[in-house]
Amino acid sequence: MESEKIRRIAEILVDYSTEIKPEDRVLIETSSLAKPLALEIFKQCLERGAYTWINVHFPEEKYFWYKYAKEHQLTWFPEHRMEEIKRADVYVGIRATSNTKMLTNIPSEKITLWEKTLKPIVDWRIEKTRWVIFYYPTEAMAQEAEMSLEELEDFVYNACNINWEELREKMLKLKDLLERTEKVRIVGENTDLFFSIKGRKAVVDDGKHNMPGGEVFTSVIENSVEGRIMFEFPIIYEGKEIDGIILKFKQGMVVDYHADKNLDLLEKILNTDSGARRVGEFGIGINPKINRYIKNAIFDEKIGGTIHIALGRGYPETLSQNESAIHIDLIKDLRKDGEIYFDDVLVFKNGKWVGIE
């Protein structure tokens, strides 16, 4: 990525997303592949008077961990990592991989077990720090997105370098509408889904936690989800693709499910724990610069004209009561033959919002 674009991305993450101040304690966690951006963020944090340190991971590190770690290691709680996150005011996570399929042949049970072990650390980071996650463009990510690296770099940069204040105003209108709504209905191809969001809080993702931002999300009344929904896009779970997903809900629980590809993995995800079959999040994508699917949820859930539901853990700020070791977003494309109703009133049709845009 060009040096000027790296400088600008770092500036957005430091000054806008996390608002670094003098004497903030800033943990930068990065892949060695993202060295140029990590060092630019490090430099800018120092210039702003923060106490800053970098944890560097190697792209193959996660593969070796899952391949060779035994059960007693996967259930070992890393106290040093918990202590480190407790001492950080700010967390900047820069993700970058050399192989998006690296974990394809790793047993999913090992991944799930480690995620359960790390849950207290993830919860602390989400609830107690100012944090942001950014995916640094790599050749592997570009290949997955079916782009050249240059095309991906431009796509990522354009999705981040927008007028966030202007987009925030639009999202605040949608937030207000969600918080005044009791019943939601989603209609589309092979989809007719109902649920209640009565009394729940909506949150505007304007790039303060994930960069790029561009979604408004809330939680659902946990036992209210009824109906059927089909997802046009696959989910990528630790390097494995699950495609052709259809879920059927009754009294808030997934009671039937289908996938054209990796059905057994979907079943294992749903059986992670008691909260994995419930919806922890209902989100709406509204980033105008993200208009295509690139197999990366941080971007894909922001596609304008889509909605997503997350199975598993909900966010406390939305008043979700669902607990789980997982949080997996599934994206529904409503840009063609899609409708959303709030309290039986049509508010969205075929990619356009009524009275919001």
> Residue 8 burial by CB count (10 A; 0-12/13-18/19+): exposed, middle or buried?
middle
Residues counted in the chain? 357
Evaluate whether 120 touches 160 at the Cβ level (below 8 Å): no
Evaluate whether 217 touches 284 at the Cβ level (below 8 Å): yes
Evaluate whether 54 touches 95 at the Cβ level (below 8 Å): no
Q: Which tens digit of pLDDT belongs to each residue from 54-105?
A: 999 999 999 999 999 999 999 999 999 999 999 999 999 999 999 988 888 8
Q: Helix, strand or coil for residue 317?
A: helix
Query: In the chain, what are the helix, strand and coil shares in percent, each to the nearest 5?
Result: 35, 30, 35
- Indicate the pLDDT class of residue 109, thresholds 50, 70 and 90: confident
Domains of the chain, CATH where assigned: 3-160 (3.40.1830.10), 164-353 (no CATH)
Evaluate whether 291 touches 315 at the Cβ level (below 8 Å): no
Task: Please tell me the distance from the alpha carbon of residue 18 to that of residue 28, in angstroms, as a whole number.
Answer: 12
Average pLDDT over residues 198-222: 95
**End-to-end Cα spacing for the chain:** 33
pLDDT of residue 311: 96
Q: Inform me whether the pLDDT recorded for 357 exceeds 80.
A: no
CB atoms within 10 A of CB 177: 16
Average pLDDT over residues 334-346: 94
Residue with tokens 């949080």: 327
Evaluate whether 287 touches 213 at the Cβ level (below 8 Å): yes
pLDDT of residue 356: 62
pLDDT of residue 101: 86
pLDDT of residue 1: 81
- Indicate the pLDDT class of residue 278, thresholds 50, 70 and 90: very high
pLDDT of residue 236: 85
Task: Please tell me the distance from the alpha carbon of residue 111 to that of residue 324, in angstroms, as a whole number.
Answer: 14
pLDDT of residue 191: 97
Q: Which tens digit of pLDDT belongs to each residue from 132-191?
A: 999 999 999 999 999 999 999 999 999 999 999 999 999 999 999 999 999 999 999 999
Q: Which tens digit of pLDDT belongs to each residue from 6-34?
A: 999 999 999 999 999 999 999 999 999 99
From the centroid of its chain, how far is CA 252? Answer: 22
Q: In Å, how far are 237, 259, 332 from 247, measured between CA atoms?
A: 17, 9, 12
CB neighbour list of residue 20: distance below 8 Å, 6 or more residues apart: 14, 26, 44, 45, 48, 50, 90
**Positive or negative: CA dihedral 207, 239, 84, 315:** positive
Q: Inform me whether the pLDDT recorded for 239 exceeds 90.
A: no
Q: Which tens digit of pLDDT belongs to each residue from 283-334?
A: 999 999 999 999 988 899 999 999 999 999 998 999 999 999 889 999 999 9
Q: β-pairing, 25-31 with 51-57?
A: parallel
Cα torsion through 170, 279, 309, 324, rounded to 10:
100
Q: Inform me whether the pLDDT recorded for 349 exceeds 70.
A: yes
